[in-house]
Amino acid sequence: MVNNNMILGNKLFQDSFFKAYEKEFLQLAQKGQTPKALYIGCSDSRVLPNLITQSAPGDLFVIRNVGNFVAPYKPDEDFHSTASAIEYAVTILKVESIIVCGHTNCGAIEAIHKKSCANNPELVHSKTWLTLGESAKVQAILALGLNADKETLYRLTEKLSVVSQLENLFTYPSVKKRVDSGEITIHGWVYNIECGEIEYYDPEISQFVHLSSINVEEEES
């Protein structure tokens, strides 16, 4: 049985949000989607892409998975859910930007450090998937030491993992080609679930800085 709150929530959605954007939803249904950005984020229920960015319907093409990971490009005929969505967003939808958004208090990052999936046969896929964050863990330990405060270590690993996933994005020929031509820009974010703030990775200084520090008027001009 579906949770009663979800049933009531859908009724509320139809009566309020849907009505407010009824024209936009109709256009999206008739003309198809033309999202501005591909958002790759974590499946964590505390992180809501459209809510934290206040994006309108149709603005974001969203991929969510455990840990907001991007597996390196692998041109075989196996099942690659995240890779397929990246290819579709870049090649068919022609998004203008790609955002990889991590977040604080990430369970995937904590699991990598604790190796909590290692000996559980019911988490065989998770064990393999979490190896995509292993390099970030190693870098964080090298930077802070094995005896570092755990929370500090986790926060740094979350940020370094975002940078690592950005690097993996560039292994996709379709992504690299469009970045090199200026058709697409790549962004790394970390969302703080405790205060709602977002930090973005500035490759020029190799640091994360507050998204709110960007002068929006300058960026739009």
Of 13, 62, 12, 22, residue with least CA distance to 41: 62
Q: Are residues 13 and 47 in the same domain?
A: no
Q: Are residues 13 and 54 in the same domain?
A: no
Q: Are residues 91 and 18 in the same domain?
A: no
Let me know: does 187 contact 101? Beta carbons within 8 Å.
no
Q: What pLDDT does residue 77 have? A: 86
Number of folded domains that form the chain: 2
Q: Are residues 16 and 43 in the same domain?
A: no
Return all residues near 178 (Cβ < 8 A) that are at least 6 apart: 90, 184
Handedness of CA 130, 132, 138, 141 (dihedral sign): negative
User: What digits encode the pLDDT tens for the residues 33-62?
Assistant: 999 999 999 999 999 999 999 999 999 999
Of 130, 117, 184, residue with least CA distance to 161: 130
CATH code for the domain of 142: 3.40.1050.10
What's the pTM value of the predicted model, to 2 decimals?
Answer: 0.93
Q: Are residues 49 and 154 in the same domain?
A: yes
Q: Are residues 47 and 109 in the same domain?
A: yes
Q: Are residues 1 and 62 in the same domain?
A: no
User: What digits encode the pLDDT tens for the residues 147-190?
Assistant: 999 999 999 999 999 999 999 999 999 999 999 999 999 999 99
Let me know: does 199 contact 192? Beta carbons within 8 Å.
yes
Q: Are residues 2 and 63 in the same domain?
A: no
C-alpha–C-alpha distance, residues 128 and 131, integer Å = 6
Q: Are residues 47 and 74 in the same domain?
A: yes
Domain residues for 79?
Answer: 34-220
3-state DSSP assignment of residue 64: strand
Handedness of CA 100, 105, 106, 111 (dihedral sign): positive
3-state DSSP assignment of residue 183: coil
Q: What pLDDT does residue 217 have? A: 61
Q: Are residues 120 and 13 in the same domain?
A: no
Of 68, 192, 189, 75, residue with least CA distance to 130: 68
Helix (H) or strand (E) holding 199: strand 198-202
Q: Are residues 26 and 50 in the same domain?
A: no
User: What digits encode the pLDDT tens for the residues 88-139?
Assistant: 999 999 999 999 999 999 999 999 999 988 889 999 999 999 999 999 999 9
